[in-house]
Amino acid sequence: MLASATLPAARPTLGSSPRLEQLKAMPRRPGQASFFFYDAHFRNEAVKVLPGEFFVYGEDILIMTTLGSCIAACLWDRDKRVGGMNHFMLPEGSGSGNDGGRYGSYAMELLINEMIKRGANRSSMEAKVFGGGAVVSGMNSINVGEQNTKFVLDYLRTERIAVVSKDVLDIYPRKVCFLPASGKAMVKRLASANTEQLLAQERAAARAVVPEKSGGGTVDLF
């Protein structure tokens, strides 16, 4: 069922805020997103989660990412009201350290463990899952998005974390915003045009699956 997402009261400052400066000054854990900014559209502090990163917080800043075949899992503890998002490119791989979060098996561990460190409990966690689109022409046979989607849904089922909503597969890139204290999420399906950086990211993911032999939308609330 769709739900409304209400942001905190808008601040008059357009470029910065005390909370934004506090976020930028926080010690950064390995793999933790650190690109903080002030979102002029929502007039709220935000952090962008890049591939391989995650972020967990207990206040309603905007946690944002853009997805093609990648997956973002948004976890929320309904009792502690803390939540977080990750962004992984492939289900499993040999990465470790700084690049380990690009793989779902490690990315999910990072996210869940950070949630637990902030007082969350697996028994009161719920998930919202986004991404897994087939966004690059000619890559459909590789099914990276399908593999990612199957992995995350199987993983959450094994961990007994309920998936309360999802927007996955299909052919669209997606922009996702998540509010970690309220657990609300917004997703916008993007037009395929003007996504060069995203397409480069998708091709890199495809090369990791198959060795290289040769060279506008609507917003839904969850």
Pairing of the two strands 54-57 and 82-86 = antiparallel
pLDDT at 196: 67
The residue written with tokens 């609507």 in the block is: 218
User: Lowest-confidence range among 16-30, 93-107, 196-210?
Assistant: 196-210
pLDDT at 100: 78
For residue 212, pLDDT beyond 50: no
- Average pLDDT value for residue range 59-74: 95
Which residues, other chains included, contact 19 with Cβ-Cβ below 8 Å and sequence gap of 6+?
A: 45, 59, 61
pTM recorded for the entire structure: 0.82
pLDDT at 216: 53
Which residues, other chains included, contact 34 with Cβ-Cβ below 8 Å and sequence gap of 6+?
A: 24, 28, 47
Asked whether the beta carbons of 97 and 155 are under 8 A apart, the reply is: no
Amino acid in position 74:
C
- Average pLDDT value for residue range 119-138: 91
Q: What is the mean pLDDT of the chain?
A: 84
Asked whether the beta carbons of 181 and 161 are under 8 A apart, the reply is: no
Token pair for residue 140? 């459909």
In CATH, what is the architecture of 35-221? 2-Layer Sandwich (3.30)
Quick check: helix, strand or coil at residue 55?
A: strand
Q: Where are the domains of the chain?
A: 35-221
pLDDT digits (tens, 9 = 90+) for 9-53: 444 445 668 889 999 998 888 899 999 999 999 899 999 999 999
